[in-house]
Amino acid sequence: MKQMVQPTRAVSAGRTQGVGGRQIYEALREQILTGVYETGSQLPSSRGLANDLGVSRTTVTVAYEQLLAEGFIEVTQGARPRVAASVRREASSTVPKRSGPIHLSSYGERLHGSPPWSDYLPTHLKVDFRYGDLAPSDFPALIWKRAMNAAMSQRPGRLAY
For 43-78, letters b (16+ CB in 10 Å) and e give: bbbbeebbeebebeeebbbbbbebbeeeebbbbeee
Contacts of 90-98 with CB under 8 Å at 24 or more apart are 90/33, 91/33, 92/33
Whole-model pTM: value is 0.48
Say if CB 75 and CB 68 are below 8 A apart.
yes
pLDDT digits (tens, 9 = 90+) for 14-59: 444 567 889 999 999 999 988 899 888 999 999 999 999 999 999 9
Q: Is the pLDDT of residue 64 over 80?
A: yes
Q: Report, in this order, helix, strand and coil percent for the chain, each rounded to 5.
A: 40, 5, 60
State the Cα–Cα distance between residues 22 and 44, nearest whole angstrom.
Answer: 17
Return the amino acid letter for 136.
Answer: P
Q: List CB contacts of 21: < 8 A, sequence separation 6 or more.
A: 59, 60, 62, 63, 66
Say if CB 64 and CB 81 are below 8 A apart.
yes
Predicted local distance difference test score (pLDDT) of residue 83: 92
Q: What is the set of domains in the chain, with CATH numbers? A: 21-83 (1.10.10.10)
pLDDT digits (tens, 9 = 90+) for 81-118: 999 988 765 545 555 667 777 788 888 888 888 888 77
pLDDT digits (tens, 9 = 90+) for 105-155: 888 888 888 888 778 777 776 666 666 666 667 777 888 889 888 888 876
pLDDT digits (tens, 9 = 90+) for 8-25: 444 334 444 567 889 999
Predicted local distance difference test score (pLDDT) of residue 63: 93
DSSP 71-94: TSEE--TTS--EE-TT--SS-TT-
Predicted local distance difference test score (pLDDT) of residue 155: 67
End-to-end CA distance of the chain: 55
